[in-house]
Amino acid sequence: MIIYIYDIKTLTVVARPIVNSYGEFKAEPIKYYPEWNTDYHLSTEVEFQNPILDSGVIREKTREELILLDNKIELLQDGEYIENNRIIRVEAPSYLFKKLWNKEINIWEEGATQEEINLEVNRLIDEYTLLGEQKERWIKYGFEVLEIEEKMASNILQRNYLLSIKF
């Protein structure tokens, strides 16, 4: 097995001795790495891609640490931005048809094209007519129609929103 020896200051791998077991290495580290010094070195069974020292223990940096400490802003997801050295998460509004995160001004925007909106409005009209037919059948047979009416109201709100978008 390979043991990874890190320089404590730089957290770079300075040696990779091959041993039978980690316990064997821990018992006699100088046998496998003559420069071994507990003041300057740490050993692990794992090679870390983005190591960080946390209370004397080496571990992999979290996604948040990579973003905030290493400035890897490409790891930010849609709806996230950095403010005061914190990652802020903004939930996308539910009314948006095609959610688009604007990274320049950190807001959610409608990302649908006019064609996509037209197709969705037509789909909603078809859905609305089917709901109306279902409502009539349910009334005819004495069933409760409140759930259908709620779906119809939601459908109207969605269509009104889509039709209000100006290009």
Residue 51 burial (10 A CB sphere; 0-12, 13-18, 19+): buried
Q: At CA 12, angle to CA 63 and CA 33, rounded to 5?
A: 135
Question: How many other β-carbons are positioned within 10 Å of the β-carbon of residue 79?
Answer: 15
Tell me the mean pLDDT in the region 50-67: 96
Average pLDDT over residues 84-112: 96
The one-letter amino acid at 49: Q
Is residue 167 predicted with pLDDT exceeding 80? no
Residue 143 CA to residue 122 CA, distance in Å, equals 28
Q: Is 80 exceeded by the pLDDT of residue 152?
A: yes
Domain ranges of the chain: 4-60, 67-110, 114-164
Confidence band (pLDDT; 50, 70, 90) for 166?
Answer: confident
- Is residue 129 scored above 90 in pLDDT? yes
E strand map for 13-159: 13-15, 41-44, 51-54, 57-60, 80-83, 86-89, 99-102, 107-110
